[in-house]
Structure 1
Amino acid sequence: MKLILSQVRPTDGDIEGAFRHVAMLFDLARAVEADVVLLPELFWPGYNRPDLHEELAQPLDGPWVRQLQAMARDAGCALVTGMAERAGADLYNTALAIGADGGLLARYRKIQLFGPMERAVFRPGDDLPPVFALGGRKVGLLICYDIEFAGHAAGLAARGAETILVPTANPVGFEHVQDTLVAARAVENAITVAYANYCGTEAGLAFGGGSVVVGADGRVLARAGTREAMLIVDLPGCADYPQEILSTQRQDYRAL
């Protein structure tokens, strides 16, 4: 499964610019025959903009999602992205997986809300992180702070996920997450983890970049620096690793 991970500056309310960026990524996906594009957390309408979350959040059948579904279908490439989701009077920090046919593969509402802003604006999700088929394998979703809790990744692996895709918005000062914890989650569960962060600043909040893709053996497959970057990675599946090693990793961790 070939992934394009986009480390980009935050949207900061520029919805048209966000769609232009996705169009560019889908053009690249056609050229390199990618299976899925991964974007950061709350790409629509921006992360550190609680004013815009309340003003602009949309339901899953709203114009943002409909346009993204049409774009994915036209490109023949799946998309995983974060957005502010409105459900009645409630707002959720949501990750969507849209298939190459434009269908909605999965929705995940962030469980582990981080910091005062998120907790003031969003409700935590009630459902387990999803596992779904994408690019010939089983994939799970988490969002940012979720990956720091070992049980979420372990639960996805226990339900058969081979890969976890993680839209994130990790600030400067928390680089231990992409430098250490992402690799720990990967090797604990013998699972590939792709972690897509922002760079630059938004409304006074600086992001650390460092987006990373880590294989099931804990090795870094690709890593971004602190500027805008695109990582194009052929993600290995479980069949690409010695089965005795993966089996030992999973059994040893789950026995603790």
Structure 2
Amino acid sequence: MKWTISCLQFNISYGNPSENFKKASRLIEAESRRSDIVILPELWTTGYDLMRLDEIGDDEGEQTKKWLQQTAKANDVHIVCGSVAVKKKSGVYNTMYIADKHGQLVKEYSKAHLFQLMDEHLYLSSGSADGSFELEGVKAAGFICYDIRFPEWVRKHTSKGAGIVFVSAEWPLARLDHWRTLLAARAIENQCFVAACNRSGKDPANEFAGHSMIIDPLGHVLSEAGREDTVIRAEIDLDDIEKTRGHIPVFEDIRKDLY
């Protein structure tokens, strides 16, 4: 089976959910004609307006979930809905939603690792569930930005069969080299496809790297953006996952007696 995956890289309007919903809707409507799956960046409704998340975050994620399900069904496309700030009684969470093309919500994952360098731990609560899900019977996993610096967290999902890793991010330009290297490493060591959507542009405190990427299980870059607003896409052959894992049987050779 083959899928076309698209990463929708755009400059997020800082602290303006209404404008960002409009941007995302336009992009998805245009790209759905070419793609089976689209993925959005991290915190795409608000940006890193962390001090106002109590005000502009989405109560229980209700607005986002309703929009996501309607948009996926109307455009007949699977959506990895980046992540949004979700307000709950227990705190504000950086949460990724996934909906299938029929408008069914198939996964909710809240960022497990909070990035202290950008003060996330001061304004956000960390999630405690995994990012595993399935689309059309295909096992996949979702991660958010800083999560990719924890290879054991990604391996937990791929060792259970995930063959596609989706990453949503607001990764700064200052660490662009890390972004590209870490994504390639996660693809190679887990013998999986990686589709990573970063944002473009800047906010009052940060300039972001862009360079959304789609990488195959051998680490080959199938498509990569620059720093500008853009959409990248690539067709992937899901049979390549098992072919790669069969050729170099990493998962069979894990020394469970040692680690």
TM-score, normalised on structure 2?
A: 0.90
**Aligned mates of 1:45, 1:68 — CA distance in 2:** 16
Cα distance 1:161–1:244, how it changes in 2: closer, same or farther (>3 A)? closer
**Aligned mates of 1:173, 1:158 — CA distance in 2:** 32
Contact 1:188 1:250 survives alignment (8 Å): no
Kindly tell me the number of residue pairs found equivalent between the two proteins. 253
With 6-15 and 199-208 compared, the bigger mean Cα shift is at: 6-15
Gaps of 5+ in 1: none
**Aligned mates of 1:148, 1:133 — CA distance in 2:** 23
Choose from 27, 44, 48 the match for 2:29. 27
With 34-43 and 14-23 compared, the bigger mean Cα shift is at: 14-23
Query: Which residue of structure 2 lines up, in the alignment, with residue 52 of structure 1?
Result: 52
Query: Which residue of structure 1 lines up, in the alignment, with residue 133 of structure 2?
Result: 132
Secondary structure in 2 aligned to 1:242?
helix
Cα distance 1:20–1:150, how it changes in 2: closer, same or farther (>3 A)? same
Q: Aligned partner of 2:23: which letter?
A: H
Query: Which residue of structure 1 lines up, in the alignment, with residue 106 of structure 2?
Result: 105
Equivalence map 1:111-130=2 (5 Å): 111-115=112-116, 116-127=118-129, 129-130=130-131
1:252 positional shift: 4.9
**Aligned mates of 2:60, 2:69 — CA distance in 1:** 11
Contact 2:191 2:245 survives alignment (8 Å): no
1:25 positional shift: 2.3
1:238 positional shift: 4.0
Query: Which residue of structure 2 lines up, in the alignment, with residue 142 of structure 1?
Result: 143
Contact 1:45 1:52 survives alignment (8 Å): no
Contact 1:191 1:238 survives alignment (8 Å): no
Contact 1:72 1:78 survives alignment (8 Å): yes
1:243 positional shift: 4.7
Structural RMSD (CA): 2.0
Query: Which residue of structure 2 lines up, in the alignment, with residue 223 of structure 1?
Result: 224
Equivalence map 1:93-242=2 (5 Å): 93-115=94-116, 116-127=118-129, 129-239=130-240, 242=243
1:50 positional shift: 0.9
Contact 1:6 1:37 survives alignment (8 Å): yes
1:199-227: CA deviation from partner (whole Å, max 9, x where unpaired): 11012211011111111111111111111
Cα distance 1:157–1:246, how it changes in 2: closer, same or farther (>3 A)? farther
Gaps of 5+ in 2: none
1:160-212: CA deviation from partner (whole Å, max 9, x where unpaired): 11101110011121112322111101110101111111111012211011111
1:37-81: CA deviation from partner (whole Å, max 9, x where unpaired): 1011111221x2013312122244522321221111111112112
**Aligned mates of 2:132, 2:238 — CA distance in 1:** 15
1:102 positional shift: 1.5
Cα distance 1:60–1:254, how it changes in 2: closer, same or farther (>3 A)? farther
Query: Which residue of structure 1 lines up, in the alignment, with residue 10 of structure 2?
Result: 8
Contact 1:208 1:226 survives alignment (8 Å): yes
Cα distance 1:251–1:68, how it changes in 2: closer, same or farther (>3 A)? same
1:71-130: CA deviation from partner (whole Å, max 9, x where unpaired): 111111121121001121411111111221222110111111012521101111111x22
Query: Which residue of structure 1 lines up, in the alignment, with residue 251 of structure 2?
Result: 250
TM-score, normalised on structure 1?
A: 0.91
Contact 2:200 2:228 survives alignment (8 Å): yes
Secondary structure in 2 aligned to 1:133?
strand
1:2 positional shift: 1.5
1:227-250: CA deviation from partner (whole Å, max 9, x where unpaired): 111011113324466356554243
Secondary structure in 2 aligned to 1:22?
helix
With 61-70 and 245-254 compared, the bigger mean Cα shift is at: 245-254
Give the percent of matched residue pairs that are identical in Structure 1 and Structure 2: 25
**Aligned mates of 1:21, 1:253 — CA distance in 2:** 44
Contact 2:17 2:56 survives alignment (8 Å): no
Secondary structure in 1 aligned to 2:181?
helix
Query: Which residue of structure 2 lines up, in the alignment, with residue 78 of structure 1?
Result: 78
**Aligned mates of 1:51, 1:180 — CA distance in 2:** 31
Query: Which residue of structure 1 lines up, in the alignment, with residue 64 of structure 2?
Result: 64
